[in-house]
């Protein structure tokens, strides 16, 4: 998939919303969001959650590490593992109360949870580029098909 250029923050949010809509049919979905501090990961997650009907404040789970959402009876977890000191700490977060085969996990800083996270169905890479951001996607086969079918993410 060719990289997308996102000129401003609303473009990042809009891409999150398009991904959410394209992947609505999926029951379970694990998404890794890669990118440096300030690359736009939370901005993309905000667009994703809003598109699924989350209203009210969407704050970065910088200190709580995980923030659960249940729009329309769906289960979504937004994780930010930047401050995780040891992947084993993940066990204490009760993540598996909402197993990944029945919920969507949106994980910032997944490398901090190495060995303790389920593998990704979709990896998103964000880079600062020319005043905006560049986004790249790596999807497994099933997710790749849904993205291609949406028309927003041609292969």
Ligand X SMILES: Nc1ncnc2c1ncn2[C@@H]1O[C@H](COP(=O)(O)OP(=O)(O)OP(=O)(O)O)[C@@H](O)[C@H]1O
Footprint on this chain of Mg ion (rule: CB under 5 A)? 41-42, 60, 108
Is residue 42 at the binding interface for ligand X, with CB under 6 A as the rule?
yes
Is residue 84 at the binding interface for ligand X, with CB under 6 A as the rule?
no
Of 34-42, 94-102, 111-119, 138-146, which segment contacts ligand X by CB under 6 A? Answer: 34-42
- Output the smallest distance, CB 82 to Mg ion, in A: 8
126 forms beta bridges with 135
Q: Helix, strand or coil for residue 3?
A: coil
Distance of CA 49 to the CA centre of its chain: 9
Is residue 14 at the binding interface for ligand X, with CB under 6 A as the rule?
no
Of 21-29, 31-39, 67-75, 140-148, which segment contacts ligand X by CB under 6 A? Answer: 31-39
Q: Say if residues 27 and 101 touch (Cβ distance below 8 Å).
A: yes
User: Contacts with ligand X: how many residues (CB under 6 A)?
Assistant: 18
Q: Which two tokens stand for residue 65?
A: 């590490």
Is residue 43 at the binding interface for ligand X, with CB under 6 A as the rule?
yes
Q: How far is CA 92 from CA 8, 30, 88, 107, 138, in A?
A: 36, 19, 8, 16, 29
Query: Over the Cα atoms of the chain, what is R_g?
Result: 14
- Output the smallest distance, CB 3 to ligand X, in A: 12
Among all residues, whose Cβ is closest to Mg ion?
A: 42
Around Cβ 74, how many Cβ atoms within 10 Å?
15
Decide which of Mg ion, ligand X, none touches 43; Cβ closer than 5 to 8 Å per partner kind: ligand X
Site for ligand X in 44-73 (CB under 6 A): 60
Structure-token match 């979504």, residue found? 76
Q: Say if residues 72 and 52 touch (Cβ distance below 8 Å).
A: yes
Judged by the rule CB under 6 A, the positions of this chain that interact with ligand X are: 6, 8-9, 11-12, 35, 37-43, 60, 80, 108, 132-133
């Amino acid at each position: 998939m060719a990289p997308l250029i996102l000129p401003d923050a609303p473009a990042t949010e809009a891409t999150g919303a398009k991904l959410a809509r394209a992947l609505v049919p999926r029951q379970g979905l694990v998404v890794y969001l890669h990118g440096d501090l300030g690359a736009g990961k939370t901005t993309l997650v905000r667009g994703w959650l809003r598109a699924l009907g989350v209203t009210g404040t969407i704050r970065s789970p910088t200190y709580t590490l995980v923030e659960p959402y249940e729009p329309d009876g769906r289960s979504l977890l937004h994780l930010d593992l930047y401050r995780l000191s040891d992947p084993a700490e993940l066990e204490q977060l009760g993540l598996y109360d909402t197993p990944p085969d029945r919920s969507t996990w949106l994980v910032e800083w997944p490398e901090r949870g190495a060995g303790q996270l389920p593998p990704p169905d979709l990896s998103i890479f964000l880079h600062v580029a020319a005043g905006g951001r560049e986004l790249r996607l790596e999807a497994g086969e099933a997710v790749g098909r849904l993205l291609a079918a949406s028309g927003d993410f041609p292969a």
